[in-house]
Structure 1
Amino acid sequence: MSITNMMSRLFIVGLVAVVFAACSDSEDGPKVKYTADFDYAVSNDNPNIIEFTNLSDGEYLYLQWDYGKGEGLGSKESDKTSVRSIYYPLKGTYEVTLVVWGSLNNSSDTKTITKTITIDQDDPDYVQPQGLIWSDEFDGSSVDLTIWTFETGSGGWGNQELQYYTNGENATVEGGNLIITAKKVNDNKTDGSYTSSRLVTLGKQEFTYGRIEVRAKLPSGTGIWPAIWMLGSNINSVGWPACGEIDIMEYVGYDPNIVHSTVHTPAGYAGDGDGNWMTLETAEEDFHIYGLIWSESSLTFYVDTPDHVVHVYAPAVKTSSNWPFDKPCFFILNIAVGGTWGGAQGIDNAIFPQTMEVDYVRVYDLD
């Protein structure tokens, strides 16, 4: 082989190698070595604020954080150095995840690390933002019947529901929580095939305006329909929907991790109610606060903190048709089974029993 031919072949081999290397790099750029890591510390200013520092090393493009508050992964961030201060108003453990992206859109070119943080105390400035008017902390050994009444019976409850509400047999107080349990009686999936509890404060604890917070953990499974809500105390004289209905939280098990807040009035009710929803990844696993700020001008629904707004209802011109919320309302806590919404995709009898746990119900002054 001549020197000329050998040099030509070497040139061709080198050219092929360069082309191959170029083709092997995706549009997002070549994969490089990097690590995912972060550190955290309690803020010196507030024990409910955790300061997160990115310690990831190597060549990478973006970060994504999930701070364990039920919001899921945030948007991609190119800022790799800033300390991130995150507020946790409630004591408990939180799983914090950092995802490091080595390329722009290639999800296989990522590294992930998860760490558990612990918050040792509730933030007193959060749980008591204003004067506490009333609360039930469920610290006793049974349901306080000076506060709550068990509404009993079956018949569908206006929504073709299939549970029979018992006189307390499906509600207990344990470990500082109210526990409502929905149970299966038989496999027929007909009226009365299930039992549950429905607790109301009508005639005992009724409120007009205020900041309301209910901390609860929700049941799961197709066919389950828990709710935390309020009705106008004049329901027995004016009927529904003239009395007004405030659904602080509703949840249907066939659509997991979606919490709903809705308002029903004569101007819009049932399927035409005014509401919205929010994704909450740990609704069934963790306790969350379901909140309402009820003023003379609006109803603002939120989850955990007031900056996580689910829905705002504020008619510009208020009438008796769209604003019956200038009168007292009472609380309702219940788990329904089946029904026009909860049972829209059937009922899975294998899920029972199911529980909704309520840590507290609190009402604060707005002033």
Structure 2
Amino acid sequence: MTVTWVRAAAAALLVAATVTGCASESPSPTADTGEPESSATPTDELLWADEFDGPEGRRPDDAVWVTQTGNLDDEGWGNNELQFYTDAPENSSLDGDGHLVIAALPAEPDADLPCVTVPSCPYTSARLTTEGTVALETGRVEVRARIPNGTGLLPAIWMLGNNGETWPAQGEIDVAEVVGGEPDTVYGTAHGPSYFNEDGIGAAFDLGEPSGDEFHVYAVDKRPEAITWSVDGEDYLTLTPDDLPDPGDWVFEQDMHVLLNVAAGGDWPGSPDASTTFPAEMVVDYVRIFGS
């Protein structure tokens, strides 16, 4: 199996989705924004998807999406970040038009949100993960999204390993990151035991427009000893063990789960300023996993 469903409840959900046609075949393109065809290989089939259908204001399905909360005591999520992640609908919910919206917002003036670098976090946001529910070993992850941009923002679509190791030995694949005031640029990066933080191995893709203007399909093909990043079906980076400082530090032959979040502030990319527009919304049309 290329997709691992960890909980029995998730397995039951997959059966239900197949009955309704949600996970049994690739959904039709959405007419409103001209969704491109999937660039999954012809031998791949759709193994799992969340199309985020449901009424406005409903929280994402908690049989799949685990909402992480707070501002970690250890360096504010590793980056001295200034957001406090919540499970409030204001920070993550469906919009009623087939999208999940993850929103970073200024915190209420009297909020008490413990933060690593300041007494109370000045922003709230959301961080959703499929850890313990859905994981990919071999195949393709596609996320169609409109990613916010602005000084001090760090929205991300990414994956972490399920091998039980401490990061960076855990392994991390950044499917798409948009950093601070670089609105036209998306970054794809891998992190592992000898290549992490500023030594992560990756590349940049020029969208030709701000990432918040239009939907794009951000994808990673995760194959044995090869990872390929693409945007709208255009490959821009392939990584193999031979590209690492030590080929023995390849840690990606394992199940990896998906994460979606919008961070604000921190060492990278710095703090929001007067030019940053809130709410800063990552609008996700779908998350799909393909395999054979």
TM-score by length of 1: 0.62
Q: Is the 8 A contact 2:84 2:124 kept in 1?
A: yes
Deviations 1:234-268 (A, max 9, x none): 3xx32100110000000113111100000000020
Q: Residue 86 of structure 2: which of 158, 166, 171 is its match?
A: 166
How many correspondences in the alignment? 246
RMSD of equivalent CA atoms = 2.5
Is 1:240–2:154 an aligned residue pair? no
Distance in 2, Cα, partners of 1:187 & 1:335: 20
Alignment of 1:222-301 (within 5 A): 222-234=151-163, 237-282=164-209, 283-301=211-229
Which residue does 2:272 correspond to in 1?
Answer: 347
Q: Call closer, same or farther: CA 1:176–1:314 in 2, change over 3 Å.
A: same
Which residue does 2:121 correspond to in 1?
Answer: 192
Alignment of 1:1-367 (within 5 A): 123=37, 126=39, 129=42, 130-141=44-55, 142=58, 143-155=60-72, 156-169=76-89, 170-174=91-95, 175-185=97-107, 190=118, 192-234=121-163, 237-282=164-209, 283-305=211-233, 308-316=234-242, 321-343=248-270, 346-349=271-274, 350-365=276-291, 367=292
Letter in structure 2 aligned against 1:147: V
Q: Is the 8 A contact 2:36 2:232 kept in 1?
A: no
Which ranges of structure 2 fall in alignment gaps of 5 or more residues? Answer: 1-27, 111-116
Paired residue secondary structure (2:198): helix
Distance in 2, Cα, partners of 1:300 & 1:266: 19
Distance apart, 1:187 and its partner CA: 7.9
Distance in 2, Cα, partners of 1:185 & 1:317: 43
Distance in 1, Cα, partners of 2:31 & 2:154: 26
Letter in structure 2 aligned against 1:362: R
Instruction: Say which structure, 1 or 2, has more relative contact order (CA 8 Å, 6+ apart).
Output: 2
Distance apart, 1:206 and its partner CA: 1.1
Paired residue secondary structure (2:241): coil
Deviations 1:105-125 (A, max 9, x none): xxxxxxxxxxxxxx5x764x7
Q: Call closer, same or farther: CA 1:131–1:239 in 2, change over 3 Å.
A: same
* Percent of paired sites with the same residue: 39
Indicate the structure (1 or 2) with the bigger Cα radius of gyration: 1
Distance in 2, Cα, partners of 1:250 & 1:239: 22
Q: Is the 8 A contact 1:336 1:342 kept in 2?
A: no
Which ranges of structure 1 fall in alignment gaps of 5 or more residues? Answer: 1-88, 95-118
Q: Is the 8 A contact 2:225 2:253 kept in 1?
A: no
Distance apart, 1:167 and its partner CA: 1.7
Paired residue secondary structure (1:145): coil
Distance in 2, Cα, partners of 1:203 & 1:215: 23
Q: Which runs of 4+ in 1 moved over 3 A?
A: 89-94, 125-129, 186-191, 317-321
Distance in 2, Cα, partners of 1:279 & 1:317: 22
Q: Call closer, same or farther: CA 1:127–1:178 in 2, change over 3 Å.
A: farther
Q: Is the 8 A contact 1:251 1:259 kept in 2?
A: yes
Distance in 2, Cα, partners of 1:122 & 1:258: 20
Distance apart, 1:126 and its partner CA: 4.8
Letter in structure 2 aligned against 1:145: D
Which residue does 2:5 correspond to in 1?
Answer: none
Q: Call closer, same or farther: CA 1:128–1:317 in 2, change over 3 Å.
A: closer
Q: Call closer, same or farther: CA 1:137–1:127 in 2, change over 3 Å.
A: farther
Paired residue secondary structure (1:271): helix
Letter in structure 2 aligned against 1:276: A
